[in-house]
Amino acid sequence: MRVVMIGPPGAGKGTQGALIAEHFDIPRIVVGDLLRDHVARRTDLGRVADGYLGRGELVPDELMLCIVRQALMAARAAGGGYVFDGVPRAMAQARAAYAIAAELGMTANAAGHLRADDNELTRRLPGRAALEHRTDDTEAVIRHRLELYQKATQPIIAWYAQRGILVSVDAMRQAGEVGREIRTALELLPAPTGPVIVRRPVDLSGLGAGCAS
């Protein structure tokens, strides 16, 4: 199973991605967490990414695609499955990431789309800021991230639909209910093609190293 999660900030990509990863026993790559970890550790990548995260802007594609390549190679070595949370965020990034995945025989066979409206999200996100100590869940940055989602990220959904991999669910319900609906839909999809599958432990801790140089 190879899944990319897509949805506005606060729709539950993290929660649902984790449920999918556990159910299908596949690694979960959370790009936002990875970037925040680099920022906290003051790595070269973290120093470059810091300002973008604080403003709610997209980190440049060059860096993101370097991380995507490393993550896909790690996932391939670990058995071929993955859940990607946070990539892609814009059409050009989606096409470039697809090209890398195609080269590695690792294109997604499902896109898990979480639908939620802005009112619900602006209600949920400040609570998350308090819980997770995220600096980008302030009101002004939240508004900007939602706008960026509408403008840059949302167009990718139609592309997934054309590719026949879109699984779209109403995310404004209990997490367990949303999770059951996605899982059922994913189980009905054709399995991904390509060489597979011996499960090996996956070490994602080094991801991003060297990407900023």
Binding site for ligand AMP (CB under 6 A): 9, 31-32, 35, 52-53, 56-59, 64, 86-89, 93, 136, 145
Min dist. Cβ of residue 144 to ligand AMP (A): 9
Residue with smaller CB distance to ligand AMP, 39 or 169: 39
Min dist. Cβ of residue 140 to ligand AMP (A): 13
Residue with the two structure tokens 């159910």: 23
Residue with smaller CB distance to ligand AMP, 92 or 191: 92
Min dist. Cβ of residue 53 to ligand AMP (A): 4
- Determine the Cα–Cα distance for residues 45 and 33; give it in Å rounded to an integer: 13
Q: Which residue is nearest to ligand AMP (CB)?
A: 32
Min dist. Cβ of residue 161 to ligand AMP (A): 20
Which residues, at least 6 apart from 66, have a Cβ–Cβ distance to it below 8 Å?
208, 210, 211
> Within the chain, where are the H helices?
13-24, 31-41, 44-55, 61-77, 91-103, 118-132, 139-148, 155-163, 175-188
- Determine the Cα–Cα distance for residues 20 and 140; give it in Å rounded to an integer: 31
Residue with smaller CB distance to ligand AMP, 31 or 178: 31
Answer yes or no: are the C-beta atoms of 47 and 24 closer than 8 Å: no
